[in-house]
């Protein structure tokens, strides 16, 4: 069979909840779908020079010569559906999800298309909300300057069966009356701080692993992360969080583009080569506005000097940026050290596993961090991150020993602070432990201490917001989450849940719904956000939508327990949790 490979704009679409619609009235649903195809869909595809590759029951795969044509076609179809669904009950509406990608495809002799380009478009369609259009970054790049679009940047998302995360942009049709290719954001974004970052702002990109051994990746990443922590201690600097900087890992990036995307003036990049007992680290500081180099140096040292190298890099940045250090800043900048290099190695590997935030990786992280403590019982960082790994176990019931994990976490966090009261992550861990122990005032003080030690660690503002929320001070918490997002522009999707919880507690249910839907696009497997969404719908009297989300909770997690959440979520006032239950009760779900 002959085939040819080519670059194509691929549109994938399907009907939301088709099985439910067909089950309720199959004949009527099929008749309406045929009418839509003949009156709206097929003529619109023809206008924009699309080729119907195949229909898949309730869906379709269409090829276009350009992404611009694909987006215009999608917008016209979705606008048409807004008009056709006007006055139709929610449970009887036909709504489409659409995904668009520009990618490599293989065209077979019968005209069928195969390959990654098709697979990614299909996965994008799968994460799109009803009535929405999701574009891959490759597709969006083709249209952002040519169409007047307003989009929601959903960040990098791991799509099912796709090797690398894909950055997704989402559009949603606002009105059938639109006369040009304009759309409103899929869900109104939660406002972030509009103040620009200070001129003294920096992002530390993940250092490249030049060791020729993929298993040494954790070491290069660890060096970058420790430099970020050191720089975050300086109130004179605005420092982008690890999560956002590491978005650019393994990408051939333009430093000026990085600066624009992260909102910083300076970028630090480098590489690490570890071989036996030697390590070579190169680093260069670049002005992202001009692309000019401010400083560059190579360090060839014994591995035993690794902490001295980290300190040297930090000091060189301070000098290049002409920062005026305050009394005590010089001492604060020093990297947390251990004389046992094997302990440091175990710590780096354990921390890297823990950051993956999965059951299996967390268990591996706990073992490695425990080993680091055995090798050096006075190494505070290992205790701090072991405490957090135990908290993940406790909150998620990730092991049979989860009931004792809170007490274990408390012991490790207290030990970390006792060993090094100036280590920011020690107070981060202790703050979380104190919160889940329902000592809210202490948790707030620990978060404030963390921010005092490292004003630029996003986790400090996240911790403070979390503690304030559970203490019943959600209006204040929202400001903390805004600051955390400013420091971490490619923030993890759980930040959206934090914001939604605060909105919900303030009885701002409609705003909570918008934020929760954005999280579901980025993380369709979340159960807790679906529960909060169902409750929000219940409070607003949207009972059918509440029932649908409640069913989805148990689809993604058959073991979900409302009683367990009541037990572990550290609300100071139990009525704040009962507000969630009340919304579910109004919808007849509990």
Domains 3-185 and 201-335 share a fold: no
pLDDT at 203 (0 to 100): 92
* Residue boundaries of the structural domains of the chain: 3-185, 201-335, 380-586
pLDDT at 587 (0 to 100): 96
Question: Could you tell me the pTM of the whole model?
Answer: 0.66
Separate counts of helices (H) and strands (E) for the chain: 24, 15
CATH number for 380-586 (one of 3.65.10.10, 1.10.150.650, 1.10.287.1080, 1.25.40.10): it is 1.25.40.10
pLDDT at 237 (0 to 100): 86
Rounded to 10°, the helix 543-556/574-586 angle is: 110
Question: 3-class secondary structure for 216-245?
Answer: HHHHHHHHHHHHHHHHHCCCCCEECCHHHH
CATH superfamily of the 3-185 domain: Nucleotide cyclase, GGDEF domain (3.30.70.1230)
- Tell me the C-alpha distance between 558 and 429, whole Å: 30
pLDDT at 101 (0 to 100): 93
- Tell me the C-alpha distance between 55 and 456, whole Å: 51
At 203 the three-state DSSP class reads strand
Q: Which residues of 187-213 are buried (b: 16+ CB within 10 A; e: fewer)?
A: beebeeeeeebeebbbbbbbbbbbbee
pLDDT at 326 (0 to 100): 66
pLDDT at 1 (0 to 100): 47
Q: What is the pLDDT along the chain (590 residues), one digit of tens a residue?
A: 456 788 889 999 999 888 888 888 888 888 888 888 877 888 889 888 899 999 877 889 999 988 999 998 998 898 888 778 777 777 788 889 999 999 888 888 778 888 888 999 998 988 888 888 999 988 998 887 777 676 777 777 777 778 778 888 888 654 332 323 333 333 333 333 334 445 789 999 998 888 777 778 888 898 888 889 888 888 888 999 988 888 888 777 778 878 877 888 899 998 888 888 888 889 899 988 888 888 888 888 888 888 888 888 888 888 888 777 666 666 666 666 788 989 999 999 999 999 888 889 999 999 999 999 999 999 999 999 999 999 999 988 888 888 899 999 999 999 999 999 999 999 999 999 999 999 999 999 999 999 999 999 999 999 999 999 999 999 999 999 999 988 988 888 889 999 999 999 999 999 999 889 888 877 778 899 999 999 999 999 999 999 999 999 999 899 899 998 998 899 999 999 999 999 999 999 99
Paired tokens of 447 = 């978060």
Q: Looking up tokens 């030690």, which residue turns up? A: 453
- Tell me the C-alpha distance between 543 and 537, whole Å: 6
148 CB contacts (<8 Å, ≥6 apart)? 180, 181, 182
Q: Which CATH class is domain 201-335?
A: alpha beta
Rounded to 10°, the helix 359-375/341-355 angle is: 160
The phi, psi pair for 208, rounded to 5°, reads -70, 140
Paired tokens of 551 = 């069913």
């Amino acid at each position: 069979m002959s085939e040819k490979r080519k670059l194509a704009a691929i549109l994938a679409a399907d009907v939301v909840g088709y099985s439910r619609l067909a089950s309720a009235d199959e004949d009527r649903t099929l008749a309406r779908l045929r009418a839509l195809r003949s009156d709206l869909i097929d003529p619109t595809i023809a206008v924009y020079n699309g080729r119907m590759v195949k229909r898949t029951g309730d869906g379709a795969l269409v090829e276009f010569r350009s992404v611009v044509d694909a987006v215009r076609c999608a917008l016209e179809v979705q606008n048409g559906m807004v008009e056709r669904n006007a006055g139709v009950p929610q449970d009887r509406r036909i709504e489409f999800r659409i995904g668009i990608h520009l990618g490599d495809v293989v065209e077979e002799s019968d005209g069928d298309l195969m390959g990654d380009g098709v697979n990614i478009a299909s996965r994008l369609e799968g994460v799109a909300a009803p009535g929405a259009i999701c574009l891959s970054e490759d597709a969006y790049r083709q249209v952002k300057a040519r169409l007047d679009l307003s989009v929601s940047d959903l960040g990098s998302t791991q799509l099912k069966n796709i090797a690398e995360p894909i950055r997704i942009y989402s559009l949603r049709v606002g009105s059938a009356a639109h006369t040009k290719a304009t759309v409103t954001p899929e869900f109104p974004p939660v406002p972030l701080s509009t103040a620009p970052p200070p001129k003294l702002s920096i992002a530390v990109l993940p250092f490249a692993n030049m060791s020729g051994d993929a298993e040494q990746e954790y070491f290069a990443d660890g060096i970058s992360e420790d430099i970020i922590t050191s720089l975050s201690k300086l109130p004179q600097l605005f420092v982008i969080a690890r999560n956002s900087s590491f978005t650019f890992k393994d990408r051939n990036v333009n430093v000026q583009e990085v600066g624009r995307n992260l909102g910083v003036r300076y970028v630090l990049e480098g590489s690490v080569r570890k071989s036996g007992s030697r390590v070579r680290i190169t680093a260069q500081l670049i002005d992202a506005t001009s692309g000019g180099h401010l400083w560059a140096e190579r360090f060839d040292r014994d591995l035993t000097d690794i902490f001295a190298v980290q300190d040297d890099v930090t000091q060189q940045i301070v000098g290049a940026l002409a920062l005026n250090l305050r009394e005590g800043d010089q001492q604060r900048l020093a990297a947390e050290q251990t004389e046992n290099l094997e302990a440091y190695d175990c710590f780096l590997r354990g921390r890297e596993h823990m950051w993956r935030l999965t059951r299996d990786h967390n268990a591996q992280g706990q073992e490695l961090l425990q080993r680091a403590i055995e090798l050096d019982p006075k190494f505070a960082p290992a205790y701090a991150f072991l405490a957090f790994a135990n908290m993940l176990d406790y909150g998620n019931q990730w092991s049979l020993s989860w009931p004792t994990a809170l007490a274990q976490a408390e012991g490790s966090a207290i030990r970390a602070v006792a060993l090094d009261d100036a280590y920011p992550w020690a107070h981060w861990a202790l703050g979380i432990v104190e919160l889940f122990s329902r000592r809210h005032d202490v948790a707030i003080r620990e978060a404030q201490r963390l921010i005092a030690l490292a004003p630029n660690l996003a986790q400090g503002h996240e911790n403070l917001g979390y503690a304030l929320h559970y203490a019943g001070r959600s209006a204040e918490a929202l400001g903390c989450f805004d600051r955390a997002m400013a420091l971490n522009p490619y923030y993890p999707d759980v930040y959206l849940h934090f914001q939604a919880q605060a909105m919900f507690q303030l009885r701002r249910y409609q705003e909570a719904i918008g934020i929760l839907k954005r999280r579901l696009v980025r993380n369709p497997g979340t159960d807790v956000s679906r529960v909060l969404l169902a409750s929000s719908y219940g409070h607003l009297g949207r009972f059918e939508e509440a029932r649908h989300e409640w069913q989805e909770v148990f689809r993604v997690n058959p073991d979900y327990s409302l009683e367990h959440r009541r037990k572990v979520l550290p609300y100071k006032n139990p009525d704040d949790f009962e507000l969630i239950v009340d919304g579910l009760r109004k919808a007849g779900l509990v």
